[in-house]
Chain A
Amino acid sequence: MRFMMLIIPKGYEKAAPGTFPDAKDVEAMMRYNESLKKAGVLLALDGLHPPSMGARVSFKGGKPSVVDGPFAEAKEIVGGYWMIQAKSREEAIEWARRCPAGDNETIEVRQVQELSDFPEDVQQVLSKEFKASAS
Protein backbone atom coordinates (compact mmCIF):
# COMPACT_ATOMS: atom_id res chain seq x y z
CA MET A 1 0.00 0.00 0.00
CA ARG A 2 1.09 3.52 -0.66
CA PHE A 3 0.22 6.53 1.38
CA MET A 4 0.72 10.19 0.84
CA MET A 5 1.45 12.31 3.86
CA LEU A 6 0.46 15.88 3.08
CA ILE A 7 1.82 18.57 5.34
CA ILE A 8 -0.44 21.57 5.94
CA PRO A 9 1.40 24.48 7.57
CA LYS A 10 -0.93 27.08 9.05
CA GLY A 11 0.05 30.54 7.87
CA TYR A 12 1.61 29.27 4.67
CA GLU A 13 -1.51 30.44 2.82
CA LYS A 14 -0.32 34.01 3.41
CA ALA A 15 3.41 33.44 2.96
CA ALA A 16 5.31 35.79 0.66
CA PRO A 17 6.85 34.41 -2.54
CA GLY A 18 10.15 32.66 -1.89
CA THR A 19 9.40 31.87 1.77
CA PHE A 20 11.44 28.93 3.10
CA PRO A 21 11.49 27.21 6.48
CA ASP A 22 14.52 28.12 8.61
CA ALA A 23 17.68 26.06 8.68
CA LYS A 24 16.96 24.52 12.09
CA ASP A 25 13.57 23.15 11.03
CA VAL A 26 15.02 21.93 7.76
CA GLU A 27 17.73 20.06 9.65
CA ALA A 28 15.19 18.25 11.82
CA MET A 29 13.14 17.43 8.74
CA MET A 30 16.22 16.06 6.95
CA ARG A 31 16.84 13.71 9.85
CA TYR A 32 13.24 12.53 9.64
CA ASN A 33 13.51 11.98 5.87
CA GLU A 34 16.71 10.06 6.50
CA SER A 35 14.90 7.76 8.95
CA LEU A 36 12.19 7.08 6.36
CA LYS A 37 14.87 6.24 3.82
CA LYS A 38 16.77 3.99 6.21
CA ALA A 39 13.57 2.09 6.93
CA GLY A 40 13.15 1.60 3.17
CA VAL A 41 9.66 3.11 3.12
CA LEU A 42 10.24 6.46 1.39
CA LEU A 43 9.25 6.50 -2.28
CA ALA A 44 9.22 10.22 -3.06
CA LEU A 45 8.96 13.61 -1.42
CA ASP A 46 8.72 17.25 -2.40
CA GLY A 47 8.22 20.64 -0.82
CA LEU A 48 5.96 23.19 -2.47
CA HIS A 49 6.46 26.93 -2.92
CA PRO A 50 3.81 29.09 -1.22
CA PRO A 51 0.50 29.73 -2.99
CA SER A 52 1.55 33.36 -3.59
CA MET A 53 3.75 31.94 -6.34
CA GLY A 54 1.00 29.70 -7.71
CA ALA A 55 -2.42 29.99 -9.26
CA ARG A 56 -5.82 28.35 -9.07
CA VAL A 57 -7.68 27.21 -12.11
CA SER A 58 -11.38 26.62 -11.52
CA PHE A 59 -13.99 25.28 -13.91
CA LYS A 60 -17.27 26.90 -13.02
CA GLY A 61 -19.76 26.50 -15.85
CA GLY A 62 -17.31 24.21 -17.63
CA LYS A 63 -14.92 27.04 -18.44
CA PRO A 64 -11.44 27.30 -16.92
CA SER A 65 -10.75 30.59 -15.15
CA VAL A 66 -7.47 31.48 -13.50
CA VAL A 67 -6.85 33.30 -10.21
CA ASP A 68 -3.29 34.12 -9.16
CA GLY A 69 -2.21 33.33 -5.58
CA PRO A 70 -2.34 34.04 -2.72
CA PHE A 71 -5.94 32.90 -2.32
CA ALA A 72 -7.85 35.00 0.16
CA GLU A 73 -10.42 32.29 0.92
CA ALA A 74 -7.98 29.41 1.42
CA LYS A 75 -7.61 28.21 5.02
CA GLU A 76 -5.55 25.08 4.45
CA ILE A 77 -2.69 24.91 2.01
CA VAL A 78 -0.48 21.91 1.25
CA GLY A 79 3.19 22.71 1.85
CA GLY A 80 4.68 19.45 0.69
CA TYR A 81 4.26 15.69 0.65
CA TRP A 82 5.90 12.36 1.28
CA MET A 83 4.93 9.23 -0.60
CA ILE A 84 5.60 6.15 1.51
CA GLN A 85 5.09 2.42 1.25
CA ALA A 86 3.41 0.97 4.32
CA LYS A 87 1.79 -2.30 5.30
CA SER A 88 -1.25 -0.71 6.84
CA ARG A 89 -3.04 2.53 7.58
CA GLU A 90 -1.79 2.20 11.16
CA GLU A 91 1.80 2.08 9.99
CA ALA A 92 1.37 5.16 7.80
CA ILE A 93 -0.15 7.04 10.73
CA GLU A 94 2.75 5.97 12.94
CA TRP A 95 5.26 7.36 10.45
CA ALA A 96 3.31 10.62 10.33
CA ARG A 97 3.30 10.81 14.14
CA ARG A 98 7.11 10.76 14.12
CA CYS A 99 7.41 13.84 11.94
CA PRO A 100 9.15 16.76 13.72
CA ALA A 101 6.40 19.11 12.57
CA GLY A 102 5.79 22.48 14.19
CA ASP A 103 2.96 23.71 16.36
CA ASN A 104 1.20 25.20 13.34
CA GLU A 105 1.44 22.14 11.15
CA THR A 106 -0.92 19.25 10.41
CA ILE A 107 -0.21 16.10 8.44
CA GLU A 108 -2.99 14.52 6.47
CA VAL A 109 -2.49 10.80 5.75
CA ARG A 110 -4.16 9.56 2.58
CA GLN A 111 -4.03 6.20 0.86
CA VAL A 112 -2.99 6.22 -2.80
CA GLN A 113 -5.46 4.61 -5.21
CA GLU A 114 -4.06 1.61 -7.03
CA LEU A 115 -5.37 0.16 -10.26
CA SER A 116 -6.78 -2.85 -8.41
CA ASP A 117 -8.79 -0.58 -6.05
CA PHE A 118 -10.99 0.70 -8.86
CA PRO A 119 -14.33 -0.90 -9.73
CA GLU A 120 -14.34 -3.27 -12.68
CA ASP A 121 -15.75 -0.77 -15.22
CA VAL A 122 -13.12 1.87 -14.40
CA GLN A 123 -10.37 -0.76 -14.58
CA GLN A 124 -11.61 -1.68 -18.02
CA VAL A 125 -11.36 1.92 -19.20
CA LEU A 126 -7.87 2.14 -17.71
CA SER A 127 -6.74 -1.03 -19.44
CA LYS A 128 -8.41 -0.37 -22.78
CA GLU A 129 -5.10 -0.22 -24.53
CA PHE A 130 -4.22 -3.70 -23.31
CA LYS A 131 -7.53 -5.13 -24.51
CA ALA A 132 -7.04 -3.54 -27.93
CA SER A 133 -3.58 -4.96 -28.35
CA ALA A 134 -4.53 -8.42 -27.05
CA SER A 135 -7.49 -8.96 -29.38
Chain B
Amino acid sequence: MTDPRPERTLEAVWRMEAARIIGGVTRLVRDVSLAEDLAQETLVIALERWREEGIPENPGAWLMRAAKNRAIDSLRRRGMMERKETELSEAVPSPGGSGDAAEEAVLTALEDEGGDDVLRLMFVACHPVLSTEARVALTLRLLGGLTTDEIARAFLVPEPTIAQRIVRAKRTLTAARVPFEVPKGPELGGRLSAVLEAVYLIFNEGYAATKGDAWVRPELCDDALRLGRSLAELVPDEPEVHGLVALMEIQASRTQARQGPTGEPILLLDQDRSRWDELLIRRGLDALSRAEAIGGAYGPYTLQAAIAACHARARTADETDWVRIVALYDGLVALTGSPVVELNRAVAVAMAFGPEAGLEIADRLAAESVLESYHLLPSVRGDLLAKLGRNDEARAEFERAAFLAKNTRERTLLLGRAKRI
Protein backbone atom coordinates (compact mmCIF):
# COMPACT_ATOMS: atom_id res chain seq x y z
CA MET B 1 0.00 0.00 0.00
CA THR B 2 1.26 3.51 -0.77
CA ASP B 3 2.00 5.78 2.13
CA PRO B 4 -0.90 8.26 2.32
CA ARG B 5 1.19 10.97 3.95
CA PRO B 6 2.80 12.57 0.89
CA GLU B 7 -0.61 12.99 -0.71
CA ARG B 8 -2.21 14.42 2.41
CA THR B 9 0.65 16.79 3.07
CA LEU B 10 0.67 17.91 -0.55
CA GLU B 11 -3.06 18.56 -0.36
CA ALA B 12 -2.65 20.59 2.84
CA VAL B 13 0.35 22.55 1.61
CA TRP B 14 -1.33 23.26 -1.72
CA ARG B 15 -4.29 24.80 0.08
CA MET B 16 -1.91 26.99 2.05
CA GLU B 17 0.24 28.00 -0.90
CA ALA B 18 -1.95 27.85 -4.03
CA ALA B 19 -2.62 31.58 -4.15
CA ARG B 20 0.98 32.57 -3.52
CA ILE B 21 2.35 30.06 -6.02
CA ILE B 22 -0.11 30.80 -8.82
CA GLY B 23 0.28 34.52 -8.09
CA GLY B 24 4.07 34.35 -8.17
CA VAL B 25 4.13 32.37 -11.39
CA THR B 26 1.57 34.66 -13.01
CA ARG B 27 3.79 37.64 -12.26
CA LEU B 28 6.55 35.88 -14.18
CA VAL B 29 4.66 34.46 -17.18
CA ARG B 30 2.02 37.21 -17.28
CA ASP B 31 -0.79 34.76 -17.95
CA VAL B 32 -2.93 33.34 -15.19
CA SER B 33 -4.09 30.45 -17.33
CA LEU B 34 -0.55 29.32 -18.12
CA ALA B 35 0.46 29.89 -14.50
CA GLU B 36 -2.31 27.62 -13.29
CA ASP B 37 -1.35 24.90 -15.77
CA LEU B 38 2.27 25.11 -14.64
CA ALA B 39 1.20 24.91 -11.01
CA GLN B 40 -0.92 21.84 -11.72
CA GLU B 41 1.99 20.16 -13.50
CA THR B 42 4.12 20.94 -10.46
CA LEU B 43 1.63 19.18 -8.22
CA VAL B 44 1.83 16.00 -10.28
CA ILE B 45 5.64 16.06 -10.14
CA ALA B 46 5.62 16.84 -6.43
CA LEU B 47 3.48 13.83 -5.59
CA GLU B 48 5.76 11.51 -7.59
CA ARG B 49 8.92 12.87 -6.05
CA TRP B 50 7.61 13.02 -2.49
CA ARG B 51 6.47 9.41 -2.76
CA GLU B 52 9.93 8.35 -3.90
CA GLU B 53 12.16 10.60 -1.83
CA GLY B 54 9.95 11.44 1.10
CA ILE B 55 8.33 14.75 2.03
CA PRO B 56 10.86 17.59 1.77
CA GLU B 57 11.98 19.56 4.81
CA ASN B 58 10.04 22.64 3.75
CA PRO B 59 7.24 21.44 1.46
CA GLY B 60 5.84 24.92 0.82
CA ALA B 61 9.13 26.36 -0.34
CA TRP B 62 9.78 23.20 -2.39
CA LEU B 63 6.51 23.69 -4.29
CA MET B 64 7.15 27.36 -4.84
CA ARG B 65 10.62 26.76 -6.21
CA ALA B 66 9.53 23.85 -8.40
CA ALA B 67 6.69 25.91 -9.87
CA LYS B 68 8.97 28.84 -10.60
CA ASN B 69 11.52 26.57 -12.23
CA ARG B 70 8.80 25.28 -14.51
CA ALA B 71 7.86 28.87 -15.27
CA ILE B 72 11.44 29.69 -16.21
CA ASP B 73 11.57 26.60 -18.46
CA SER B 74 8.37 27.67 -20.10
CA LEU B 75 9.68 31.20 -20.71
CA ARG B 76 12.89 29.75 -22.14
CA ARG B 77 10.96 27.45 -24.47
CA ARG B 78 9.06 30.43 -25.74
CA GLY B 79 12.28 32.41 -26.11
CA MET B 80 11.19 34.94 -23.59
CA MET B 81 13.82 34.33 -20.96
CA GLU B 82 16.21 36.82 -22.46
CA ARG B 83 13.68 39.58 -22.45
CA LYS B 84 12.73 38.73 -18.89
CA GLU B 85 16.34 38.99 -17.79
CA THR B 86 16.65 42.43 -19.32
CA GLU B 87 13.42 43.46 -17.74
CA LEU B 88 14.52 42.19 -14.37
CA SER B 89 18.06 43.52 -14.53
CA GLU B 90 16.53 46.97 -14.65
CA ALA B 91 14.50 46.28 -11.54
CA VAL B 92 16.91 44.07 -9.61
CA PRO B 93 20.64 44.59 -9.27
CA SER B 94 21.85 41.30 -10.74
CA PRO B 95 25.39 39.98 -11.07
CA GLY B 96 24.74 40.10 -14.81
CA GLY B 97 25.34 37.47 -17.42
CA SER B 98 23.06 34.55 -18.01
CA GLY B 99 22.63 31.05 -16.64
CA ASP B 100 22.25 30.31 -12.95
CA ALA B 101 22.87 33.82 -11.68
CA ALA B 102 20.19 35.24 -13.92
CA GLU B 103 17.84 32.50 -12.92
CA GLU B 104 18.52 33.27 -9.28
CA ALA B 105 17.71 36.92 -9.96
CA VAL B 106 14.41 35.89 -11.48
CA LEU B 107 13.63 33.74 -8.47
CA THR B 108 14.56 36.48 -6.01
CA ALA B 109 12.43 38.97 -7.86
CA LEU B 110 9.53 36.61 -7.36
CA GLU B 111 9.53 36.70 -3.58
CA ASP B 112 6.25 38.07 -2.40
CA GLU B 113 6.60 39.07 1.21
CA GLY B 114 3.74 41.53 1.19
CA GLY B 115 1.11 39.29 -0.37
CA ASP B 116 0.71 41.62 -3.35
CA ASP B 117 0.58 38.70 -5.77
CA VAL B 118 -2.30 37.16 -3.83
CA LEU B 119 -4.19 40.43 -3.99
CA ARG B 120 -3.53 40.83 -7.72
CA LEU B 121 -4.73 37.28 -8.24
CA MET B 122 -7.98 38.03 -6.39
CA PHE B 123 -8.66 40.95 -8.70
CA VAL B 124 -7.91 38.85 -11.78
CA ALA B 125 -10.12 35.96 -10.61
CA CYS B 126 -13.00 38.39 -10.04
CA HIS B 127 -12.43 40.46 -13.17
CA PRO B 128 -15.57 42.02 -14.75
CA VAL B 129 -14.95 40.23 -18.09
CA LEU B 130 -16.01 37.05 -16.26
CA SER B 131 -19.52 35.96 -15.30
CA THR B 132 -20.32 35.86 -11.59
CA GLU B 133 -20.37 32.06 -11.68
CA ALA B 134 -16.95 31.98 -13.28
CA ARG B 135 -15.55 34.40 -10.69
CA VAL B 136 -16.76 32.21 -7.85
CA ALA B 137 -15.33 29.04 -9.37
CA LEU B 138 -12.02 30.67 -10.23
CA THR B 139 -11.68 32.25 -6.79
CA LEU B 140 -12.12 28.88 -5.09
CA ARG B 141 -9.76 27.24 -7.54
CA LEU B 142 -6.95 29.81 -7.67
CA LEU B 143 -7.14 31.32 -4.18
CA GLY B 144 -8.77 28.59 -2.14
CA GLY B 145 -6.74 25.78 -3.70
CA LEU B 146 -9.86 23.64 -4.21
CA THR B 147 -9.99 20.96 -6.90
CA THR B 148 -12.68 21.18 -9.59
CA ASP B 149 -14.24 18.11 -8.01
CA GLU B 150 -14.47 19.82 -4.61
CA ILE B 151 -16.00 22.93 -6.17
CA ALA B 152 -18.50 20.80 -8.08
CA ARG B 153 -19.54 18.96 -4.93
CA ALA B 154 -19.86 22.21 -3.00
CA PHE B 155 -22.17 23.69 -5.60
CA LEU B 156 -23.94 20.42 -6.44
CA VAL B 157 -23.20 20.60 -10.14
CA PRO B 158 -21.49 17.93 -12.24
CA GLU B 159 -17.70 18.05 -12.23
CA PRO B 160 -17.37 18.59 -16.02
CA THR B 161 -19.56 21.70 -15.71
CA ILE B 162 -17.11 23.29 -13.27
CA ALA B 163 -14.08 22.12 -15.26
CA GLN B 164 -15.61 23.69 -18.37
CA ARG B 165 -16.44 26.89 -16.52
CA ILE B 166 -12.86 27.23 -15.32
CA VAL B 167 -11.33 26.47 -18.72
CA ARG B 168 -13.59 29.03 -20.35
CA ALA B 169 -12.86 31.63 -17.67
CA LYS B 170 -9.10 31.19 -18.08
CA ARG B 171 -9.46 31.51 -21.86
CA THR B 172 -11.50 34.70 -21.44
CA LEU B 173 -8.84 36.22 -19.18
CA THR B 174 -6.08 35.38 -21.66
CA ALA B 175 -8.05 36.71 -24.64
CA ALA B 176 -8.88 39.94 -22.81
CA ARG B 177 -5.22 40.36 -21.82
CA VAL B 178 -6.29 41.16 -18.30
CA PRO B 179 -3.28 42.76 -16.59
CA PHE B 180 -1.91 41.24 -13.39
CA GLU B 181 -2.30 44.26 -11.16
CA VAL B 182 -4.28 45.85 -8.37
CA PRO B 183 -6.65 48.42 -9.87
CA LYS B 184 -6.01 52.00 -8.83
CA GLY B 185 -7.98 55.20 -8.43
CA PRO B 186 -11.66 55.35 -9.30
CA GLU B 187 -11.59 51.81 -10.72
CA LEU B 188 -10.68 50.24 -7.37
CA GLY B 189 -14.09 50.64 -5.68
CA GLY B 190 -16.07 48.72 -8.30
CA ARG B 191 -13.43 46.04 -8.73
CA LEU B 192 -13.22 45.50 -4.98
CA SER B 193 -17.00 45.12 -4.83
CA ALA B 194 -16.73 42.30 -7.35
CA VAL B 195 -14.17 40.53 -5.16
CA LEU B 196 -16.29 40.97 -2.04
CA GLU B 197 -19.35 39.75 -3.92
CA ALA B 198 -17.61 36.54 -4.98
CA VAL B 199 -16.41 35.87 -1.43
CA TYR B 200 -19.88 36.46 0.00
CA LEU B 201 -21.49 34.25 -2.64
CA ILE B 202 -19.18 31.44 -1.57
CA PHE B 203 -20.06 32.05 2.05
CA ASN B 204 -23.77 32.10 1.34
CA GLU B 205 -23.71 28.89 -0.66
CA GLY B 206 -22.27 27.29 2.45
CA TYR B 207 -24.54 29.13 4.87
CA ALA B 208 -27.90 28.69 3.15
CA ALA B 209 -27.52 26.17 0.39
CA THR B 210 -29.84 27.04 -2.47
CA LYS B 211 -30.19 23.42 -3.56
CA GLY B 212 -30.05 19.91 -2.23
CA ASP B 213 -30.67 18.14 1.06
CA ALA B 214 -28.15 19.77 3.37
CA TRP B 215 -29.06 23.18 4.69
CA VAL B 216 -25.52 24.22 5.55
CA ARG B 217 -22.10 23.29 4.20
CA PRO B 218 -19.74 24.74 6.81
CA GLU B 219 -16.60 23.92 4.81
CA LEU B 220 -17.59 26.45 2.18
CA CYS B 221 -18.23 29.05 4.90
CA ASP B 222 -14.75 28.36 6.25
CA ASP B 223 -13.23 28.86 2.80
CA ALA B 224 -15.02 32.18 2.39
CA LEU B 225 -14.05 33.34 5.88
CA ARG B 226 -10.45 32.51 5.18
CA LEU B 227 -10.49 34.49 1.93
CA GLY B 228 -12.23 37.41 3.62
CA ARG B 229 -9.85 37.57 6.58
CA SER B 230 -6.92 37.35 4.22
CA LEU B 231 -8.32 40.18 2.09
CA ALA B 232 -8.82 42.33 5.21
CA GLU B 233 -5.09 42.04 5.93
CA LEU B 234 -4.16 42.85 2.31
CA VAL B 235 -6.40 45.93 1.93
CA PRO B 236 -6.79 47.09 5.54
CA ASP B 237 -7.96 50.61 4.66
CA GLU B 238 -11.18 49.57 2.94
CA PRO B 239 -14.09 49.62 5.42
CA GLU B 240 -16.31 47.31 3.38
CA VAL B 241 -13.76 44.48 3.53
CA HIS B 242 -13.96 44.58 7.32
CA GLY B 243 -17.73 44.95 7.04
CA LEU B 244 -17.93 41.75 5.00
CA VAL B 245 -15.62 39.89 7.40
CA ALA B 246 -17.72 41.09 10.35
CA LEU B 247 -20.90 39.92 8.63
CA MET B 248 -19.48 36.48 7.85
CA GLU B 249 -17.96 35.97 11.31
CA ILE B 250 -21.21 36.82 13.06
CA GLN B 251 -23.33 34.72 10.71
CA ALA B 252 -20.90 31.80 11.06
CA SER B 253 -21.12 32.11 14.86
CA ARG B 254 -24.67 30.75 14.61
CA THR B 255 -23.80 27.61 12.62
CA GLN B 256 -24.25 25.19 15.52
CA ALA B 257 -27.55 26.76 16.51
CA ARG B 258 -29.19 26.94 13.09
CA GLN B 259 -29.84 23.23 12.77
CA GLY B 260 -31.89 20.88 14.89
CA PRO B 261 -30.83 17.30 15.72
CA THR B 262 -32.09 15.96 12.38
CA GLY B 263 -30.67 18.82 10.33
CA GLU B 264 -33.83 20.91 10.17
CA PRO B 265 -33.30 24.67 10.06
CA ILE B 266 -34.00 26.72 13.20
CA LEU B 267 -34.89 30.36 12.67
CA LEU B 268 -32.79 33.08 14.26
CA LEU B 269 -35.23 34.05 16.99
CA ASP B 270 -35.82 30.41 18.01
CA GLN B 271 -32.12 29.57 18.27
CA ASP B 272 -30.47 28.49 21.51
CA ARG B 273 -28.06 31.39 21.89
CA SER B 274 -25.79 29.43 24.20
CA ARG B 275 -24.81 27.52 21.06
CA TRP B 276 -23.57 30.66 19.32
CA ASP B 277 -19.82 30.74 18.97
CA GLU B 278 -18.49 33.46 21.28
CA LEU B 279 -15.08 33.53 19.62
CA LEU B 280 -16.57 34.26 16.20
CA ILE B 281 -18.97 36.84 17.64
CA ARG B 282 -16.04 38.65 19.27
CA ARG B 283 -14.07 38.50 16.02
CA GLY B 284 -17.12 39.82 14.13
CA LEU B 285 -17.66 42.73 16.52
CA ASP B 286 -13.94 43.57 16.31
CA ALA B 287 -14.07 43.57 12.51
CA LEU B 288 -17.15 45.81 12.63
CA SER B 289 -15.27 48.25 14.89
CA ARG B 290 -12.40 48.28 12.39
CA ALA B 291 -14.85 49.13 9.58
CA GLU B 292 -16.41 51.89 11.67
CA ALA B 293 -13.04 53.28 12.75
CA ILE B 294 -12.06 53.93 9.12
CA GLY B 295 -15.11 56.17 8.90
CA GLY B 296 -17.23 57.34 6.01
CA ALA B 297 -20.77 56.27 5.20
CA TYR B 298 -21.69 52.65 5.93
CA GLY B 299 -21.51 50.46 2.85
CA PRO B 300 -23.91 47.55 2.30
CA TYR B 301 -21.75 44.93 4.04
CA THR B 302 -21.07 47.12 7.06
CA LEU B 303 -24.79 47.84 7.36
CA GLN B 304 -25.62 44.14 7.23
CA ALA B 305 -22.88 43.42 9.75
CA ALA B 306 -24.28 46.11 12.05
CA ILE B 307 -27.69 44.42 11.83
CA ALA B 308 -26.14 41.02 12.57
CA ALA B 309 -24.31 42.63 15.50
CA CYS B 310 -27.64 43.79 16.99
CA HIS B 311 -28.68 40.14 17.17
CA ALA B 312 -25.27 39.01 18.43
CA ARG B 313 -25.35 41.52 21.29
CA ALA B 314 -28.81 40.50 22.48
CA ARG B 315 -28.58 37.77 25.11
CA THR B 316 -32.16 36.73 24.44
CA ALA B 317 -34.39 37.27 21.40
CA ASP B 318 -36.55 39.62 23.49
CA GLU B 319 -33.61 41.94 24.12
CA THR B 320 -33.11 42.61 20.39
CA ASP B 321 -32.95 46.31 19.53
CA TRP B 322 -35.49 46.18 16.68
CA VAL B 323 -35.79 49.94 16.35
CA ARG B 324 -32.08 50.19 15.58
CA ILE B 325 -32.38 47.27 13.16
CA VAL B 326 -35.19 49.07 11.32
CA ALA B 327 -33.02 52.19 11.04
CA LEU B 328 -30.16 50.12 9.63
CA TYR B 329 -32.52 48.45 7.14
CA ASP B 330 -33.75 51.89 6.08
CA GLY B 331 -30.17 52.70 5.19
CA LEU B 332 -29.69 49.40 3.39
CA VAL B 333 -32.86 49.80 1.32
CA ALA B 334 -31.83 53.34 0.38
CA LEU B 335 -28.42 52.01 -0.69
CA THR B 336 -29.41 48.88 -2.56
CA GLY B 337 -33.07 49.37 -3.56
CA SER B 338 -33.30 45.59 -3.28
CA PRO B 339 -36.77 44.08 -2.79
CA VAL B 340 -35.22 41.23 -0.76
CA VAL B 341 -33.80 43.79 1.67
CA GLU B 342 -37.17 45.52 1.75
CA LEU B 343 -38.72 42.19 2.74
CA ASN B 344 -36.27 41.89 5.61
CA ARG B 345 -37.13 45.42 6.61
CA ALA B 346 -40.79 44.35 6.74
CA VAL B 347 -39.87 41.67 9.28
CA ALA B 348 -37.91 44.16 11.40
CA VAL B 349 -40.71 46.72 11.22
CA ALA B 350 -43.17 44.07 12.37
CA MET B 351 -40.95 43.27 15.34
CA ALA B 352 -40.47 46.93 16.26
CA PHE B 353 -43.90 48.36 15.52
CA GLY B 354 -46.29 45.41 15.23
CA PRO B 355 -47.27 42.84 12.55
CA GLU B 356 -49.70 45.15 10.81
CA ALA B 357 -46.99 47.69 9.93
CA GLY B 358 -44.76 44.88 8.63
CA LEU B 359 -47.54 43.27 6.61
CA GLU B 360 -48.22 46.56 4.87
CA ILE B 361 -44.68 46.52 3.45
CA ALA B 362 -44.86 42.82 2.53
CA ASP B 363 -48.22 43.32 0.80
CA ARG B 364 -46.79 46.15 -1.22
CA LEU B 365 -43.97 43.87 -2.35
CA ALA B 366 -46.48 41.17 -3.29
CA ALA B 367 -48.49 43.68 -5.31
CA GLU B 368 -45.38 44.79 -7.21
CA SER B 369 -44.77 41.10 -8.00
CA VAL B 370 -41.00 41.56 -8.25
CA LEU B 371 -40.40 38.66 -5.88
CA GLU B 372 -42.90 36.34 -7.55
CA SER B 373 -40.87 33.15 -7.26
CA TYR B 374 -39.04 34.01 -4.02
CA HIS B 375 -40.27 31.61 -1.32
CA LEU B 376 -39.46 33.92 1.58
CA LEU B 377 -42.09 36.48 0.56
CA PRO B 378 -45.05 34.15 1.16
CA SER B 379 -43.19 32.76 4.18
CA VAL B 380 -42.96 36.22 5.76
CA ARG B 381 -46.53 37.08 4.85
CA GLY B 382 -47.69 33.77 6.33
CA ASP B 383 -45.88 34.57 9.54
CA LEU B 384 -47.35 38.05 9.86
CA LEU B 385 -50.86 36.91 8.90
CA ALA B 386 -50.68 34.19 11.56
CA LYS B 387 -49.69 36.76 14.15
CA LEU B 388 -52.75 38.80 13.18
CA GLY B 389 -54.96 35.71 13.57
CA ARG B 390 -55.75 35.52 9.84
CA ASN B 391 -55.09 31.76 9.87
CA ASP B 392 -56.61 30.64 6.57
CA GLU B 393 -54.62 33.20 4.61
CA ALA B 394 -51.48 32.34 6.62
CA ARG B 395 -51.79 28.63 5.84
CA ALA B 396 -52.16 29.31 2.11
CA GLU B 397 -49.05 31.49 2.19
CA PHE B 398 -46.91 28.84 3.93
CA GLU B 399 -48.06 26.22 1.42
CA ARG B 400 -47.16 28.53 -1.41
CA ALA B 401 -43.75 29.20 0.19
CA ALA B 402 -43.13 25.44 0.51
CA PHE B 403 -44.00 24.99 -3.15
CA LEU B 404 -41.44 27.63 -4.14
CA ALA B 405 -38.60 26.55 -1.81
CA LYS B 406 -35.81 24.63 -3.57
CA ASN B 407 -34.08 23.31 -0.45
CA THR B 408 -35.67 20.11 0.90
CA ARG B 409 -35.08 21.04 4.53
CA GLU B 410 -36.66 24.43 4.14
CA ARG B 411 -39.66 22.95 2.35
CA THR B 412 -40.28 20.53 5.23
CA LEU B 413 -40.08 23.39 7.73
CA LEU B 414 -42.59 25.47 5.77
CA LEU B 415 -45.04 22.59 5.32
CA GLY B 416 -44.79 21.97 9.07
CA ARG B 417 -45.72 25.55 9.76
CA ALA B 418 -48.69 25.36 7.41
CA LYS B 419 -49.92 22.25 9.21
CA ARG B 420 -49.50 23.67 12.71
CA ILE B 421 -51.75 26.68 12.15
Question: Which one of A38, A86, A94, A130 lies within 8 Å of B234 (CB-CB)?
Answer: A38
Q: Is the CB of B12 within 8 A of A40?
A: no
B272 interfacial by beta-carbon distance below 8 Å: yes
Question: Which one of A83, A85, A115 lies within 8 Å of B226 (CB-CB)?
Answer: A85
Q: Is the CB of B9 within 8 A of A94?
A: yes
Total interface residues in chain A, CB < 8 Å:
29
Question: Which one of A83, A86, A129 lies within 8 Å of B272 (CB-CB)?
Answer: A129
In angstroms, Cα B226 to Cα A39, docked, is 7
In angstroms, Cα B234 to Cα A49, docked, is 32
> Chain A 70-85, CB within 8 Å of chain B: the 1/0 string?
0000000000000101
Please name all residues of chain A whose beta carbon is closer than 8 Å to the beta carbon of B283 when the two chains form the complex: 43
Question: Which one of B9, B228, B270, B275 lies within 8 Å of A134 (CB-CB)?
Answer: B270
Q: Is the CB of B12 within 8 A of A87?
A: yes
B59 interfacial by beta-carbon distance below 8 Å: yes
Question: Which one of A40, A123, A127 lies within 8 Å of B230 (CB-CB)?
Answer: A40
Q: Is the CB of B59 within 8 A of A94?
A: yes
Please name all residues of chain B whose beta carbon is closer than 8 Å to the beta carbon of A39 when the two chains form the complex: 16, 226, 230
B223, chain A: closest CB distance, angstroms: 9
Q: Is the CB of B275 within 8 A of A115?
A: yes
Of B8, B233, B256, B270, the most chain A CB neighbours within 10 A belong to B233
> Chain A 98-116, CB within 8 Å of chain B: the 1/0 string?
1000000000000000111
B59, chain A: closest CB distance, angstroms: 7
Q: Is the CB of B11 within 8 A of A90?
A: yes
Please name all residues of chain B whose beta carbon is closer than 8 Å to the beta carbon of A34 when the two chains form the complex: 233
In the complex, which residue of chain A has the Cβ closest to the Cβ of B118? A38
A37 interfacial by beta-carbon distance below 8 Å: yes
In angstroms, Cα B229 to Cα A42, docked, is 9
B326 interfacial by beta-carbon distance below 8 Å: no
Q: Is the CB of A127 within 8 A of B275?
A: yes
Chain B interface, >50% SS class: helix
In angstroms, Cα B257 to Cα A134, docked, is 13
Q: Is the CB of A116 within 8 A of B222?
A: no
Please name all residues of chain A whose beta carbon is closer than 8 Å to the beta carbon of B60 when the two chains form the complex: 94, 98
B115 interfacial by beta-carbon distance below 8 Å: yes
Q: Is the CB of B272 within 8 A of A40?
A: no
Known: A115-B256, A129-B272, A130-B275. A90 touches B9 (CB 8 A): yes
Q: Is the CB of A87 within 8 A of B15?
A: yes
Q: Is the CB of A83 within 8 A of B279?
A: yes
Please name all residues of chain A whose beta carbon is closer than 8 Å to the beta carbon of B13 when the two chains form the complex: 91, 94
B350 interfacial by beta-carbon distance below 8 Å: no
B23, chain A: closest CB distance, angstroms: 12
B227 interfacial by beta-carbon distance below 8 Å: yes
B373 interfacial by beta-carbon distance below 8 Å: no
B225 interfacial by beta-carbon distance below 8 Å: yes
In angstroms, Cα B9 to Cα A82, docked, is 21
Please name all residues of chain B whose beta carbon is closer than 8 Å to the beta carbon of A114 when the two chains form the complex: 256
A-B contacts, 11 of them at CB < 8 A, read A34-B233, A38-B234, A39-B230, A43-B283, A87-B12, A90-B8, A91-B15, A94-B9, A130-B257, A130-B272, A133-B272
Question: Across chains A and B, which 9 residue pairs bring their CB atoms closest together, nearest first?
Answer: A130-B272, A40-B229, A40-B230, A40-B226, A91-B12, A90-B12, A90-B8, A38-B233, A115-B256
Given A85-B222, A88-B8, A123-B261, 12 other A-B residues pairs in contact with their CB atoms under 8 A: A38-B234, A40-B228, A40-B229, A41-B226, A85-B226, A87-B222, A90-B9, A94-B9, A94-B59, A95-B16, A98-B60, A114-B256
Which residues of chain B have a CB within 8 Å of any CB of chain A? 5, 8-9, 11-13, 15-16, 59-60, 115, 118, 219, 222, 225-231, 233-234, 256-257, 260-261, 270-272, 274-275, 279, 283
